[in-house]
Structure 1
Amino acid sequence: MRFSPEFLDELRLRTRLTDVVGRKVKLVRKGREHGGLCPFHNEKTPSFTVNDDKGFYHCFGCGAHGDVVKFVMETEGLGFPEAVERLASEAGLALPAHSEQDRAQDDQRKTLHQVMDAAASWFQSQLAGAAGREAREYLARRGLNADAVKAFRLGYAPESRTQLKDALLARKLTEAQLIDTGMLIKPEDGGASFDRFRHRVMFPIADAQGRIVGFGGRALGDAPAKYLNSPETVLFHKGRLLYNMTMARAAARAADRVIVAEGYMDVIAMAQAGLKEAVAPLGTAVTEDQLALLWRMAPEPIFCFDGDAAGLRAAERAMVRALPLLKAGQSLRFVALPKGEDPDTLIRNQGVGAMREMLDAARPLIDVLWDVELARLPTDTPERRAGFKARLRERLSEIADPDVRGFYKEEFDARMRSLWQPKQDFGPSNRFRDGARRPPGKGRGRYDAPIPVSRELLRTPLAQGAGFTNHRRERLILMTVLNHPELLDRYQEEFMAVDLDSDELDKLRAAIIRIAASCHQSDDKLESSTVRNHLYQEGFGRAVQRLEGDKGLVGDLFAKPDATADSAEQGLLSLMQASQLQLLHTELEAAEVDALSDDIDEAERATRRARDLRAQIESLVERLAGVER
């Protein structure tokens, strides 16, 4: 059976290579690749790599190399047609019926691709000519330069019923071809066909192979539709495509992220400003096929929508569509721009730095889901709280992956306990300053207050004094490591395990760890100046400046650059252990609440858990006190 290139491309887009290989090989993520022991020869040291972005596997030991189809053929002993059929069945992709007619259709598609490219070139020529003056002025007002216009092949459709038609027919293209591609409209009453796009700035839309398959047109005058897309054709399926998908893939791999904006101009404005990893759906709510494309580019696409009601609704629709598809390491993040702003206007008004800050502060899906459901109705009565809980349970039921669903449930339960749990008195020496629980910071269910600890811990210098908050502790940890990165040689694992409430500091920590690993690989000396230089080059300059400018950290001498190695080490170790203690106390509180359950088995499990946590807390308090002596 013969399969068209388009069908095989669609199959590869719908099939994640690591999912298929992972059935045979235990894979470990290594940056943008996965590695494991080669299934094609016996080896003890992993030399087998899988790259989802590029769609191939390779073994540096035996030279095995191929795509997902070849892997199934080699490991299952199947022929090419059988391997394709199995993968298509798993992907829910209907097999094409090949015949002479099908082969003729394949040839037709090739011709139609040529028609679309010719149309794009003609629109470009119109933009550059006298007729395109108004369109050029519009693009200039929107801040686009000549390089961006050329890179995205922007064009102009003149205000004429048949100018495109006449031009392409003169090139020996047929009217039927122009109708099949959606470039002409054929009236049902049998009248003469006419150009679909008129008096519009034209945005060519490419498929995964970079071939023009459709257009979006932005009206320059009064028109019923501000934006108009090509209709569904044999080439153009808007729910399976992303604007700028072809050019964004390489940039997404380099940046390890992909940005999803609402419109063409947002994508082009970001690309022009250096954020080339931006794409956009084509005027519709994001589809499952589009999510699959996004997850092939990056594990957590960042959805960046306009800061108005429509933008928020679009973000919610994307979130709901993604819930059934969540997997380990596969989720979404969201940026809500200031009201009245979109990426295009934000970059023009405040610069790309402001846009980068918004992206760095992108919120995880679980936070957005929590906030959306919490904001629907008040939760000031038991009945309304029960309604809120029921809505969360309904959302949880939509998550198919059992592990992801379980962790979401645990997190939601912890947040609800934090939100409504009555205040508790831990004694005069360790009571919260305001005597009451605070709302969870950043939706994580943590308390921005001194941790409730035993008297031994309270005598340590780092825990003394009102105002020693989670916020201050985590910033001190980052400051200490930033000024003394050599400590990562001994405490990288503990540093990675610290739970940070601040998304900005979490990203900064990940960058520091990545830079430290790069220094070790290149034999560069791991010094504070080296780390700072890399952070500034990677766009973390403002985060570093905010950290260093925090006046609340000036009294902690161990975190300063001139602190002795022993002082910095003791300070960092004490801070990280105090952070761990905070988490243990939070878990203990939750276990104590669960121990009151009417379910006897659950109560017994919670009681045992609370007993274990108290032992861990006591042991950690003793170790922490020992560090401070």
Structure 2
Amino acid sequence: MRVPESVIEQLNSQADLVGMIRRHTVLKPAGREFKGCCPFHGEKTPSFYVNPQTNLYYCFGCGAKGNPITFLKEFERLSFVEALTVLSEQTGIDLPKDDAFEQSIKYKKTTKPKTTAKANRQPSTDQSTTVHQYSNNDQSFGGQTLSDIDDVYRDDAVYHDYLSGNHTAAFDNDTSPNAPTHDESDAQGDLYSLLGNICRFYQHKLHQNPAAMAYFASRGLTQETITTFELGYAPSGWQHLEEAFPQDIEGLKILGLTRTSQKGRDFNLLRDRVIFPIKDKQGRVVGFAGRALGDEMPKYINSSESPVFQKQFILYGLYEARQAKASSYMMVEGYMDVIALYQAGIYGAVAPMGTAANEGQIASLLKYNDSLTMCFDGDGAGQRAAWRALEVAAPILADGKQLKFLTLPDNHDPDTYLQAHGADAMRLQMEEALSTSDYIFNVLSLRYDLRFPENKAAAMAKLKELTAKFPKGSSFKWWLNNDIYQKLGAKDQKTRYVIDKANYEASVNRNILLYLCLLYAPHLLDDDPLSRILTKSGVVDVHVDFIERLEKHELHLPELPTWHSIGDDALTELVSTITKLGKLGDAISPLTKSDDPQVINGQAHFIMASLPNDALQDVLAESWRGFFGQMTAERFENIGLFFDELLCQKLLEIFKKQHEQSKNIILSEIHKRRLLALQHWDKAQKSKLATALDKR
């Protein structure tokens, strides 16, 4: 595989070198650099420096130095190709295809007959006429007046020769000894360059068409947004591309932008439509979508698949999202949804190419962030698409990865919702997106009348069909089945008449498994699991490097999470009750670790009966029976690992939210380091948990 130097430079410059090296040694800020003990030769006095601006490292002790590729090769013992692949996955920059692909994007340019300017033609004296060029050899769009061009006449043939970049024909009347000569019989073009030139052509035509400009204005788009997404307009002429690019007919046909009718006449696919250029992850134009200006059908037309455009690998808006350094991602249905969200300052929205989202697209987004929100229209088609997306994503939803589901009210899509309610309301909707568990339960509740046992059985069968697609060893699959089972066994909402109880129910449902684990094994609190996780993961110490800076700026160290911040009053009440009962010991009840189901069940009921709030008692009692039955049937012995994993996920949510909301750079960095430390610890815990599940 031959990789251009420009791609290698991109990979090296955009890689997270500090993050890569931190997996092997502790790095601490030292001015604009990071300092730590060298991972190559081992030392007690740090002499190893990493510069995040240049993405280079150097050790003053052993002389080790290099960039991200060097580090992967020399420390992690990867081959050059393996190192490039790792960085490609990390940065989202695609590696070049093989030689066969390189050849597939080439095409032979058409050689036009030379046009000879007639002697009796007079040069134009119109000093205001502008000639615009779309040269395949010029990466910029430019213009100049006819007075600047020697002996170019306003004959249509000559004018179109210049438009198309055929300067040989345009300057054919130049008979000076130094006149350029060209042999174009073997000239080749490449599809990427042609697509870029067509994009600029459409952009230019947009500003010449008031109706097209009015359409984008009616959708609320600013000129800055139009420029960012390089929006354009395809003229109404049946052969406007052939006229603008007469040398590139073969390339236009390969791209499917020019087609041949049954009568043998060539015509352009996109006519009298506003244009949405489609880009790959590197920002190269690979295709176009055209939207009709009126009500004619089809409303949208996408250009054909080609050697550079395979729809299943492309997500519209991903390049712009990466450029904006999006921290979270949301999959929407339409191009305008992506653009409207971006313009509102909500980065990270992407859309599949007019087809259902596939596993590869979802997997690529989950590499950038562990959570992905799916936003589909509220109509039947949109909701069917949401369920299909969940089925498609199930095999790649490893523990720690999650989907959220957002259905906007009143059949809005993101574009119309933003226009009606604004960006803040949209952000609130995104924050309240349903978890996978809540979404599945809502869907099952709508499909089946859960008042009848037969329908509950059918709902559980549908659930098991879905969860069977989850990865082997997935703990989420087990908990999901249990959670839905508990909800299906709950009483009819109409019987819940105590407001206090409803409030507790809302709180407990968000943390149900934490509560039930504590009822099942109250001894889990013996070693203060919250403090243990924060200590073992290193979260409690990440602020050490910032003590002086905190004091200098008179900032207080952010408090660490408590039981209350994890689960509100309900969890605090449960933990407090178990702790008190444990201290009383045999005087009232044993509350000891036991494998005997009768002892476990008895202790759980004793704890529930001891809770001071009746509403919390009722909510836990309704969930306990099913949970206890399943745990007993499974004979699961690793309740501690499950509890740690659940608690860790709640902590990760807290740290992530704190990092995103922090406006102070010092505090934000502390939150970020807490998050990274806990993520590293959680990864090791997940491995233990998967092993435990596989042994069952």
User: Displacement of 1:163 after TM fit?
Assistant: 1.5
Report the count of equivalent residues: 477
User: Aligned pair 1:215/2:288, yes or no?
Assistant: yes
Q: Which residue of structure 2 lines up, in the alignment, with residue 310 of structure 1?
A: 381
Q: Is the 8 A contact 2:363 2:396 kept in 1?
A: no
- Residues 345, 183 of structure 1: alpha-carbon distance in 2 compared, 3 angstrom cutoff: same
Q: What's the counterpart of residue 140 of structure 2?
A: none
Give the structure 2 partner of residue 534 of structure 1: none
User: 1:444 — aligned with what?
Assistant: 509
Matched, 1:178 2:173: no
1:272, 1:311 → 2: CA distance? 24
Q: Is the 8 A contact 1:269 1:343 kept in 2?
A: yes
Residue in structure 2 matched with residue 244 of structure 1 by the alignment: 317
Counterpart mapping for 1:278-297 below 5 A: 278-297=349-368
- 8 A Cα contact 2:322 2:348, kept in partner: yes
For 1:382, the equivalent position in structure 2 comes to 453
Corresponding letter in the other structure for 1:324: P
**CA separation in 2, counterparts of 1:442 and 1:117?**
53
Specify the SS of the correspondent of 1:214: strand
Asked if residue 157 in structure 1 is aligned to residue 234 in structure 2, the reply is yes
Look up the equivalent residue of 2:334 and give its one-letter code. G
Amino acid across the alignment from 2:218: R
Q: CA deviation at 1:218?
A: 0.4
SS at match of 1:346: helix
Return the TM-score normalized by structure 1.
0.61
Whether 1:135 aligns to 2:201 is no
SS in 1 for 2:245: helix
Task: Report the 3-state secondary structure (helix = DSSP H, G, I; strand = E; otherwise coil) of the residue aligned with 2:356.
Answer: coil
Structure 1 alignment gaps of length 5 or more: 89-94, 424-430, 454-490, 498-513, 532-568, 610-629
Are 1:42 and 2:12 matched, yes or no?
no
Residue in structure 2 matched with residue 580 of structure 1 by the alignment: 575
In 1, Cα distance between equivalents of 2:47 and 2:362: 31
1:65 to 56, 67, 82: 67
Amino acid at match of 1:219: A
1:126 to 205, 212, 220: 205
1:413 pairs with one of 482, 488, 507: 482
Provide the alpha-carbon RMSD of the alignment: 5.5
Whichever residue aligns with residue 485 of structure 2, its letter is M
Give the alignment's TM-score, normalised by structure 2: 0.56
Is the aligned partner of 1:168 residue 2:233?
no
Once the two structures are superposed, what CA deviation does each residue of 1:407-428 show, in whole Å capped at 9, x if it has no partner?
Answer: 34224314423542679xxxxx
- 1:91 maps to none
Q: 1:144 aligns with which of 202, 214, 221?
A: 221
Match of 1:339 among 397, 410, 415: 410
- After TM superposition, give the deviation of residue 153 of structure 1 in Å: 1.1
The equivalent residue for 1:366 is 437
Q: Does 1:330 align with 2:401?
A: yes
Residue 598 of structure 1: how far off its partner (Å): 11
Letter in 2 for 1:420: G
Rounded Cα–Cα distance in structure 2 between residues aligned with 1:392 and 1:275: 33
Instruction: Give the equivalent residue in structure 2 for 1:232.
Output: 305
Instruction: State yes or no: 1:268 paired with 2:339.
Output: yes
User: Aligned partners of 2:292 and 2:476: how far apart in 1?
Assistant: 47
CA distance in 2, matches of 1:442, 1:262: 32
Identity, % of aligned positions: 30
The 2-side partners of 1:322 and 1:46 are apart by: 45
- In structure 1, C-alpha distance between the alignment counterparts of 2:420 and 2:212, rounded to whole Å: 22
Is 1:112 paired with 2:194?
Answer: no
Would the alpha carbon gap of residues 176 and 370 (structure 1) be closer, same or farther in structure 2, given more than 3 Å must change?
same
Distance (Å, rounded) in 2 between the aligned partners of 1:311 and 1:401: 29
Distance 2:388 2:409 in 1: 19
Q: Which amino acid is 2:509 matched to? A: R
In the alignment, structure 2 segments of 5+ residues that lack a partner are: 29-34, 89-94, 108-187, 519-527, 535-541, 579-606, 609-618, 643-696
Asked if the contact 2:2–2:96 (Cα under 8 Å) also holds between the matched residues in 1, the reply is: no
Closer, same or farther: CA 578–144 of 1 in aligned 2, 3 Å: same
Whether the aligned pair in 2 keeps the contact of 1:252 and 1:298 (CA below 8 Å) is no
CA shift, 1:597, in A, is 7.3
Q: Which stretch has the larger CA shift, 311-320 or 101-110?
A: 101-110
User: 2: distance between equivalents of 1:525 and 1:27?
Assistant: 30
Report the Cα distance in structure 2 between the residues aligned to 1:5 and 1:228, rounded to whole angstroms. 36
> How far apart in 2 are the matches of 1:314 and 1:273?
25
Maintained 8 Å contact 2:448/2:456 = no
Q: CA deviation at 1:43?
A: 5.8
> More deviation in 238-247 or 38-47?
38-47
C-alpha displacement of 1:120: 0.9
